[in-house]
Amino acid sequence: MHPFTYQRATTPAQAVAAVAPAPGAAFVAGGTSQLDLMKEDVLRPSLLVDVTALPLTTISALNGGLRLGAGVSNTAAALHPEVAARYPAVSEALLAGASTQIRNMASLGGNPLQRTRCPYFRDPAQACNKREPGSGCAALQGINKVHALFGASNSCVATHPSDLAVALAALDAQVQVTGPNGPRTIAFPDLHRLPGDTPQQDTTLAHGELITSIDLPAFTGRSHYLKVRERASYAFALVSCAVALEMEGQKIRRARVALGGVAHKPWRVPAAEALLAGKKPSEKLFRAAAEAAFADAKPLEHNAYKIPMGRNLMERALLETSGLQPLQGPAGTAFAASVGGVSGE
């Protein structure tokens, strides 16, 4: 780890004022991923500005939706009765991620900003354009089992690891940001970007911009999150899927679907969403939507398995959200989100 200065802020303005002018400065909240990367010498901030004392730790009603303060812990958000009841996909995504200890430390503002789990990014001895622009991408010809199917470039094939972000993308959450040029609102699907030639830039946030809240719009449909991982608990998604489904009588009024583990950002599937709109839920329809969602997948050497896995998962997420198949556990819990469930009878 490299030496750095540590500072505490008590207001968003103070935090922004401290970070914005210093190119090597960064905010720190729970630090659950950031500090690991600093110990690995992947991140080398000169200044860390602690934002945990900012007054951003409440969940409140907002225009029929909910405003989730950026400083709310993953645990607090997941267990909040309004979140669990009205946006079960959010609780399911949070509780299917990390461990209790990590969720207690991690914040909603920090979670979508966690860096990729690409092993080449995390090893400073490997070539990685995201860590060191221009050094190349070792994953392209390396072990790319956990890498992207969609939207990748020759510069970067990394995926975004957050579960929460996938649920927020499906729900069209809004991100409230403050920064050196004042506040602005970002539609959640626009928060993250594709790697292109500048994979070092994960998001559309400018340096010094701070997330202050994540706003969930009014929503009366059903939502659900489903995740496949290599072990039953405490593992990143191989593939995940969030669904937000609104019905009108027997028909789907609007379906929004986001995939996780397949791209540099939560991957919305507009073609599939269009196919679903106005139709009556059925296994056949959901299969067709899943086929459409993965039609443009571009597998690498080791990740082609994600195509059948992702199709099957998306179909099942739609079946479970629509009620054609039962949830595997109570809505809003990790049991509902975890494909395969836990071991034991």
| CA-wise closest residue to 117 among 105, 130, 106, 104 | 130
Neighbouring-strand partners of residue 240: 227, 260
CB-CB contact of 140 with 157 (8 Å): yes
| Strands (DSSP E) found in the chain | 5-8, 25-28, 47-50, 59-62, 65-69, 174-178, 184-187, 210-216, 222-228, 239-248, 251-260, 267-268
Terminus-to-terminus CA distance in the chain, angstroms?
Answer: 45
Q: Does 294 bind other proteins (CB under 8 A)?
A: no
Q: Does 283 bind other proteins (CB under 8 A)?
A: no
Q: Does 145 bind other proteins (CB under 8 A)?
A: yes
Q: Does 120 bind other proteins (CB under 8 A)?
A: yes
Distance (Å, rounded) from C-alpha 341 to C-alpha 66? 30
| CA-wise closest residue to 156 among 176, 180, 132, 174 | 132
Q: Which of 77, 96, 316, 331 binds other proteins (CB under 8 A)?
A: 316
Q: Which of 46, 58, 141, 204 binds other proteins (CB under 8 A)?
A: 141
- Quote the tokens at residue 147: 């890498």
Q: Does 123 bind other proteins (CB under 8 A)?
A: yes
Q: Does 1 bind other proteins (CB under 8 A)?
A: yes
Nearer to other proteins, 213 or 321 (CB): 321
Q: Does 60 bind other proteins (CB under 8 A)?
A: no
Stretch that binds other proteins, among 53-61, 168-176, 180-188, 336-344 (CB under 8 A): 336-344
Least Å from the CB of residue 336 to other proteins: 14
Q: Does 126 bind other proteins (CB under 8 A)?
A: yes
Alpha carbons within 13 angstroms on the beta-carbon side of residue 345 total 0
User: What DSSP assignment string belongs to 184-237?
Assistant: EEEEGGGTB---TT-TT--BSPPTT-EEEEEEEPP--SEEEEEEE-SSSSS---
Stretch that binds other proteins, among 83-91, 114-122, 208-216, 273-281 (CB under 8 A): 114-122
- Quote the tokens at residue 54: 């900012």
Q: Does 117 bind other proteins (CB under 8 A)?
A: yes
Region 31-50 residues binding other proteins, contact defined as CB under 8 A: 36, 40-41
Q: Which of 309, 327, 331, 336 binds other proteins (CB under 8 A)?
A: 309
Nearer to other proteins, 123 or 190 (CB): 123
Q: Does 5 bind other proteins (CB under 8 A)?
A: no
Strands 5-8 and 47-50, how do they pair?
parallel
Q: Does 330 bind other proteins (CB under 8 A)?
A: no
* Residue 339: C-alpha distances to residues 22, 75, 97, 146, 155 (Å): 44, 21, 13, 18, 32
Binding letters toward other proteins, positions 205-234, x by CB under 8 A: -----------------------x-xxxxx
Binding site for other proteins (CB under 8 A): 1-3, 36, 40-41, 117, 119-120, 122-123, 125-126, 138, 141-143, 145, 228, 230-236, 238, 302, 305-306, 308-309, 311-313, 316, 338-345
